Amino acid sequence: MNIEILSILVLIGMFVIATILPINMGALAFAAAFIVGSLIMGMSPNDIFEGFPSDLFLTLVGITYLFAIAQNNGTIDWLVEQAVKLVRGHMALIPWVMFLVAAIITGFGALGPAAVAILAPVALRFATQYRISTVMMGLMVIHGAQGGGFSPISVYGGITNQIVEKAGLPYGPTSLFLSSLFFNLAIAIIVFFVFGGWKSLREHATATGPDPDTHTAGISRAIVGHGGTPASPAYHRSDVSPSGAHIPSSEGLTSERLMTLVGLTALAIGALVFKFNVGLVAITVAVALALLSPKTQKAAIDKVSWSTVLLIAGIITYVGVLQKAGTVDYVASGISGLGMPLLAALLLCFTGAIVSAFASSTALLGAIIPLAVPFLMQGHISAIGVVAAIAISTTIVDTSPFSTNGALVVANAPEAERENVLRKLLIYSAFIAIIGPVIAWLVLVVPGIV
């Protein structure tokens, strides 16, 4: 068996093991990098570590650390409460506000599962109280999170853009973000009408009774394939932060929260306008906020998504070994051998969608995009369009109950509806896994104008 085939089988084995067992795929990838790289190929440690994504490592740590601070000091809570005020008396706007808040949270750097874990308990309580479809509300939250998930300062955006930039391909961070945002917005519009949102628009129904509790404690689910790490504690407020600092629930927009909003704005301006490194700006803003309120932020570092950091660092390091082994060129030559770049792009979109429905989207992004690089270098089709189509196809299926986002929606649904929600999400995810890649391909790849 040649080294190219062996290394591919090892990669497939990692996805299978991490999907079945609560073992972090990144840890498996580092072990595989050592076994395949050092023991089989005779690579030196320095050769292996050349593939370690130090820039992306800092981006992941900085962004998730900053978001943890925003969650700790109640800034996210304040944003959710402001969103609640917007929908008083306007029931039809409830799903859209949840979509918007989810997009904002992930757009500023939160992981998709973290945003869904924060909003799902609140959103599904809204759905129950105002007799809105639970499935629709859950899907609006998930697609909102995915819509903002590819902003230039987000985790998904950082992973994708840095892989493409490192490969020397033309890349458009803004195009990627807007493609994902509008694609998920279009899906959300369809979901809204298919699952009964049109009724509230037609009837102009208004909400009555008390507002839902925005401090609801929901249910947390383990991230399968990440090593069993909770996606995030289901969101709820208490008067004491994890560090033990007192946080009165009626504080409103405190100076601490205001400074956090200023910091998030500074991150966006620094990264998008001045083109500063996202990771360096994020960690600088986080440290500045921690210095302003060290007691409140004491436990924020523990909320950094270390399982995701390990996952991405391990996968990309192993992909570096694959590149040195010639595996990426081997696969790419097979794809190019089809003689039809458009068909090759479609196959990669389908691969991303189907595998991601059961495995980690974050890990898959780091593994599948490099496979497209060699044939994209030929310049026959738009690299920006293909990358956007693959990225969207890989993440829109996170509605699956087998993924963290879908599992969080099922877990936070009312017990009497849980089986029905599970069944509908399965049907919906199967449908979107088939139709989504085709539409993304037709819209973003075939025209070649992105």
**pLDDT 10s digits, 389-444:** 999 999 999 998 878 888 889 888 888 888 899 899 999 999 999 999 999 999 99
CA-closest candidate to residue 406, choices 417, 416, 396, 414: 396
The Cα–Cα gap between 176 and 192 comes to 24
- What would the mean pLDDT of 124-152 be, rounded to a whole number? 90
More confident residue, 314 or 171: 314
| Lowest-pLDDT choice from 132-136, 248-252, 347-351, 387-391 | 248-252
What is the residue whose two structure tokens read 């479609």? 346
Write down the mean pLDDT value for the chain. 82
* Calpha distance 33→28 (Å, rounded): 9
Is 222 or 328 the better-scoring residue by pLDDT? 328
Is the pLDDT confidence value at 104 over 70?
Answer: yes
What's the pTM? 0.78
Percent of the chain with pLDDT over 90: 32
Of residues 243, 199, 237, 231, the one with CA closest to residue 216: 237
The proportion of the chain whose per-residue pLDDT surpasses 70, expressed as a percent, equals 86
Query: Is 233 in contact with 219 (CB distance < 8 Å)?
Result: no
- Residue 218 banded pLDDT, cuts 50, 70, 90: low
How far apart are alpha carbons 25 and 360 in whole angstroms? 9
Q: Residue 232: is its pLDDT beyond 70?
A: no
Between CA 291 and CA 260 the distance in angstroms is 12
Mean of pLDDT values over 288-299: 84
pLDDT score of 243: 40
Contacts of 264 (CB under 8 A, 6+ apart): 66, 70, 108, 285
Average pLDDT (234-245) is: 42
Contacts of 250 (CB under 8 A, 6+ apart): none
Half-sphere exposure of 183 (CA within 13 A, CB side): 34
Mean pLDDT of 189-201: 83
